[in-house]
Amino acid sequence: MRLSKSQGILPLAHAVLAAAIAYSTAATAADYRLEAEDFTNVGGTYNDGQPQKISVYTVNGITAINYVNKGDYAEYTLSVPQAGQYDLTYFAGTAIDGARIDFQVNNNGSWQTLARTDVPNAGWDNFQPLPAGSIHLSSGSQQIRLFGGGDHDWQWNLDKMELAYIDDSSSSSGGGSTSSSSSGGSSSSSGSGSSSSGGSPEEGGHVSGTFKLEAESAHHVGGEIDTYAINGGVAVNYFNSGDYLEYNLHLDQSGLYRPKYYVSTAHSSGVAVGLMATDHEGALVTKNTSEVQSQGGWDSFYLLNAASDINLFSGDLTIRIYGAGTQDFQFNIDYVIFERISDVDLDLDGDSDGIADVNDSCPGTDPSETANSEGCAPSQLDTDKDGIADNRDQCPTTAPGDFVDSEGCASTGADDDDLDGIANQEDQCPDTPFGENVAPSGCTGFEDSDSDGIANGTDQCPSTPAKEFTNESGCSPSQVANPHSVKVTVNANIKHSVKGISDFGRNRHITAHTTIYEKDWEGHADKLNYLVNTLDVTLGRDNGTATWKFQDTKEDPNRENWPDLDYMVTRGKELRENYEANPFYKRFSADRTELIAGTNPHPTYPTLSWNANGSTWHDWQPMHIETSAAWMGQYLKHYYANSSNGYIGDPMPKFWEVINEPDMEMKTGKFMVTNQEAIWEYHNLVAQEIRSKLGNEAPLIGGMTWGQHDFYRRDGISRYADNAYDQWIVADDPAEEAAAEEFFRQAMATTVDDTRDQNWYQWDVMWKGFMDAAGHNMDFYSVHVYDWPGVNSDAKSTLRRNGHLPAMLDMIEWYDVYQNGQANRKPIVISEYGAVQGGWNTLAHQPRFESEVLKSFNAMLMQILERPDYVIKSMPFTPAKPLWGYYPGGCGYEEVRNCTAPYHYSLLIEPVLNSDNWQWSDYIKFYELWADIDGTRVDSVSSDPDVQVQSYVNNNELFIIINNLETVDTTIDLTVAGLNNAQLQNVELRNMHFDNNFDTQLERHHMKQMPTKVTLAADATLVLRYTLNSTIAINQSVDEKKYFGNSVSGGSVPHRISVAGGAKNLQVNNVSVPSGYAESQLRLTVALYPSQDDTPDSLLQIDTLTINGHTIETPIDWRGRKENSVERYFNTLEIPVPVDVLQKNNTISVDFRHNGELTVANLVIKEYTTTPVRH
């Protein structure tokens, strides 16, 4: 088997191609087919009460055997024409876990088991080909027995089995299967898929005395290595820094050994072989590193003595050989010899720190450091247990419980400790009390003639009227010519509920896309504390942990390309206990670490990638979605705390997203060989598997976290054709080549992608298709949504923070309710939102890259808060320190970083790239802006849809949040009613705006009287915090209800209509019309040809609208800015409707000015218990 390497094409891993051929040929290349019902004898237990041990039945035109119980068997006579190796395939089905077929052959009167094959739980009558590995059969008449060998009382049904001749050798040709083991013990594919003529011990094999390990016969591999023929043998090449070969052996007798490597390199420096081995306590530790010298090129091998002798101890022994140098490319290696010199030397000191290895608590001490009596140097110690090693700790006696900075000194982690708007390094008065205005020095007591909070020396408008907040220059709205004004009214005594939900939901929405256990926070405990405990931010989201824990999972020794579920029990317990033993994690309350978790496509999903990202560290990979689903259920049960393990370890995630943004990798150069239907079915299998393992302790399960979110568009990503991989697959046998090609084609084949290049594909197929196929198994729908700012300016931005996000949610909600009813509507989790721009990836960081994101954070959060009953969790995309995204790829984790661009979307940044001087990015200002906001939502309205407003009462405080979707400074005329007799003590203004250099400014001012006017700058967000002398009495309410319209198309799929050609009739029925004061709104979700809004001649206008025959005046200004670079104007148009025109059943006629599509028509009614104040 080979793959063309011409033109830089990556090599195909032997295991993937072998598996492809095994699966492709299992059902097509049988030399011998045996129908299950053609048995010569049956026997067993009669456990099921049937008249004979095994019965015959017919289903779907197939005759098969059933009622096979544990211990039952069927016997057959085979006439084997030719002795040799045969591939065995069953067509079996079962609906239980714990079913296994044992293939036995009668050997001189005793039954010898040749293969044991687990039958996956896929249904009793689902007879899919089940490869069972290869077996050796002698020629002539053979008696065989198929035995129910599993641990469940019920076992399997069987249609037939097939045998395909391989060769006359006594061992397998190398083609593997997913579910087999030989009678000779467990097998494991090597890292390279081949072995040299000398061979190496099998995994778990015994070694004694001097022994040799062939590089190409490693039991497990880390990294993306390859093999090649050299000097009549086989060696390993493409060995990079960090790659490793691992061997799992059993050493019969302890001894002192001298390792010798047969290696080569073309580098003159920066190349070293690292050696790890289990010590006397069974821990895998570093033994030594040995520099490799070039002998003239990659193929000039020489025998290199290791830097030191080592002790190897009897019993289970793991040996790991890794690339330990600084060069990307390290060495080629042929073999390693471990020469036994003598018995164990208990005085051996491998790291030369003066402490014998058997007494050394810290092996691998740096030679430049001095170790203590336990063998530990300062870099290996943390005496005050603050997370900073002693050699870097500038404050070595930190008090227990203190959070420290990167130097080990106690710190608040904040840039502005007293939250007065002046950064710590500029603040000459660092302890300013809350409620005081300060000068640029950070101190109070300055001259301020007009009492506007701006010092005379910097006040450009020295006669500010009372009750008007000023901007940063000291000028109030009446002193500047703002081009626009908007009325905002708040009724603080009227609770605003949607389906009974009225709370702010701080732990649901003030969240960060990071976790307490990420390595990103090492050295920044003070900042993590500030984020979580001071600013009251809830963490987080995590896909990476499942990725590395999948990579860490060993292969089932009896079933190729299947996880070792027993290993997962043991490994999960180990990792949970490690988590439980970490005192740092206990310093954060459980309600602050409510997790959204899930997996990335590689390698958890069967992407079939033959690159390193497709495989585990143990050199196996899933080939079918059933494999990955089985792993997922086992993972959640055994790697997270639950009742089955005494609630020890990592807290169970509250939300589980099945797979993250598969559309960004499916059928692309990122090598994800799959199709839409497989991904949908994968969601079903994962949900079923997790619930079967955890029952009512299972997390809420959801999808689909598509990376694309323009419902009206075609597929926005170029994808490979089904036969794209044919060009890379080359085999000596044409039949094998054709079989492998067909395997990959079938994995890509789909029945739903014919409309990929047509509008509405992203809704019709990606979203609606998913909801139809897997929605019934989801607890929630998971949404990602991003703005795409222009690369160099905001003029070419594609914005979804306008009405786009409401339109998405309205479409998902309407279709869910239409299909399943309001009682079964699934909630939404928005697990990523913000702004991204691929054109920034290779650019140096700029302030604008942060300010554009902050605009999106604020605007999208304001829209999310409008749906407290529907969006049950939201999370801005705020990774902590994402070195994984630094450019060029992989540079972030190099020992000496030489990156050319950072990942621009992060909480922590380096002002100087590659300096390791980590500081808060402007993202922290988002959390400072929203700090302390909590409480009950109360009634608030804006006279302009481009000015968003939300308000909340929390005891004696009122919070009003106002956001500007437009790019013009706006005067806010503010009216606050319903405070009753509570007396005002202070109003704090937090003003996030963006200067001409795109820097984000967060300013704070205070006022002791009720403000009536404030300037809302372009794209800005204001928080007004009113503090009163007593609790604000909420004694009235408004109840918001949504009434879902009929299908706009009359019920025909896809439930949308063209708006061209005159008025369209719509229906919203079963409306409960209030008798008292109420306000209502018609919501029309559309995709129109783009134009500017807020102008009389706009193409986005409605020419006429009637409801039940009454003409309704329609706005000309819709939610969102005028300028937006989009293919279609995708928005939910919000139209005020007088309640007195509504009936139980409502007929709506709407005539749009121009062309496009209409998808949803709903009515929203707010019913009040009192008449609110309206400005």
Q: Which domains does the chain have, with CATH numbers?
A: 31-167 (2.60.120.260), 206-358 (2.60.120.260), 447-504+933-1034 (2.60.40.1180), 1038-1168 (2.60.120.1200)
- Structure confidence at residue 258 (pLDDT): 93
Distances (CA, A) of 359 to 276, 279, 353, 371, 825: 18, 11, 11, 12, 63
Q: What is the pLDDT of residues 278-337, one digit of tens each?
A: 998 888 988 988 999 998 889 888 889 998 899 999 999 999 999 998 887 899 999 999
pLDDT of residue 48: 62
Q: Is 832 a catalytic residue?
A: yes
Q: Per-residue confidence at 1096, pLDDT binned at 50, 70, 90?
A: confident
**High-pLDDT (> 90) share of the chain, %:** 61
Q: Is the pLDDT of residue 958 over 80?
A: yes
Tokens of residue 527, six digits: 């900042």
> Buried b vs exposed e over 910-946: b needs ≥16 C-beta within 10 Å?
beeebeeebebbbbbbbbbbbbbbbbbbbbbbbebbb
Residue 3, pLDDT score: 34
- pLDDT mean over 795-806: 90
Query: Does position 396 have pLDDT exceeding 70, yes or no?
Result: yes
Q: What pLDDT band is residue 154 in, cutting at 50, 70 and 90?
A: confident
Helix (H) or strand (E) holding 807: helix 804-820
Number of residues that this document lists for the chain: 1175
Mean pLDDT of the chain: 89
Task: Give the model's confidence band at 7: pLDDT under 50 very low, under 70 low, under 90 confident, else very high.
Answer: very low
Q: Which two three-digit tokens encode residue 356?
A: 């014998």
pLDDT at residue 164, as a whole number: 85
pLDDT of residue 106: 84
pLDDT band at 50 (very low <50, low <70, confident <90, very high): low
Q: Which DSSP string corresponds to 869-918?
A: TTEEEEEE---S--GGG-BSTTGGGSSS---SB--SS-SEE-SSTTS---
pTM of structure: 0.77
Q: What is the pLDDT of residue 20?
A: 54
Confidence class of residue 481 from pLDDT cuts 50, 70 and 90? Answer: confident
**Which has the closest alpha carbon to 177: 366, 27, 279, 387?**
27
Give the pLDDT score at 187: 27
Burial of 1049 (0-12, 13-18, 19+ CB in 10 A): middle
Annotation marks residue 681 as catalytic: no
> What average pLDDT score do residues 566-587 get?
92
Instruction: Kindly state the tokens that stand for 970.
Output: 């706006």
C-alpha–C-alpha distance, residues 899 and 664, integer Å = 24
pLDDT at residue 411 greater than cutoff 90 = no
In angstroms, the CA 827 to CA 809 distance is 10
Region 945-971 average pLDDT: 97
pLDDT tens per residue, range 980-1002? 888 999 999 999 999 999 999 99
The yes-or-no verdict on residue 167 having pLDDT over 90 is: no
Digit-coded pLDDT (tens) for 1076-1093: 999 999 999 999 998 888
Task: For residue 1102, give Cα distances in angstroms to 119, 1010, 1063.
Answer: 61, 40, 10
Q: What is the CA radius of gyration of the chain?
A: 34
- Give the position of tokens 């799929």: 1053
Mean pLDDT to the nearest integer, 797-801: 91
Say if residue 917's pLDDT is above 50: yes
The Cα–Cα gap between 574 and 1170 comes to: 60
Q: Report d(CA 136, CA 115) in Å as an integer.
A: 10
pLDDT band at 173 (very low <50, low <70, confident <90, very high): very low
Given the residues 832, 928, 957, 1040, select the one marked as catalytic: 832
Read off the pLDDT of residues 767-784 as tens digits, 9 standing for 90 and up: 999 999 999 999 999 999
Out of 661, 665, 957, 988, pick the active-site residue.
Answer: 661
* Beta-bridge partner residues of 1167: 1039, 1078
Which token pair is 767? 């979203």
DSSP state of 1047: P
| CB within 8 Å of 795: residues ≥ 6 apart | 1123, 1125
The pLDDT of residue 555: 93
The string of pLDDT tens digits covering residues 189-230 is 233 333 233 457 888 889 999 999 999 888 888 776 778 888
Q: Helix %, strand %, coil % for the chain, to 5?
A: 20, 35, 50
Residues 372/295, Cβ–Cβ less than 8 Å: no
Q: Which two tokens stand for residue 151?
A: 């641990």
Please give the structure tokens belonging to residue 668.
């692309």
Higher pLDDT, 1123 or 660: 660
Q: What percent of the chain has pLDDT over 70?
A: 94
Residue with tokens 């779907």: 60
The answer to whether residue 170 scores a pLDDT higher than 90 is: no
Higher pLDDT, 5 or 241: 241
| 357 contacts 348 by C-beta, under 8 angstroms | yes
pLDDT over threshold 90, residue 10? no
- Contacting residues for 110 by C-beta, under 8 A, at least 6 apart: none
Q: 12 versus 699: which is more confidently predicted?
A: 699
Q: Which residues pair with 1088 in a beta bridge?
A: 1129, 1156
75, 40 in Cβ contact below 8 A? yes
Tens digits of per-residue pLDDT, 724-782?
999 888 888 899 899 999 999 999 999 998 899 999 999 999 999 999 999 999 999 99
Strands 484-498 and 970-977, bridge-based pairing = parallel
Q: Which of 30-44, 77-91, 166-180, 787-801 has the highest mean pLDDT?
A: 787-801
* Lowest mean pLDDT across 119-133, 395-409, 1008-1022, 1095-1109: 395-409
Q: Rounded to whole angstroms, how far apart are CA atoms 970 and 1021? A: 11
Confirm if 938 and 1134 have CB atoms less than 8 A apart: no
- pLDDT of amino acid 16: 59
pLDDT of 31: 66
pLDDT at residue 18 in the model: 55
Q: How many CB atoms are closer than 10 A to CB 400?
A: 8
Which one, of 211, 410, 405, 225, lies nearest residue 312 by Cα? 211
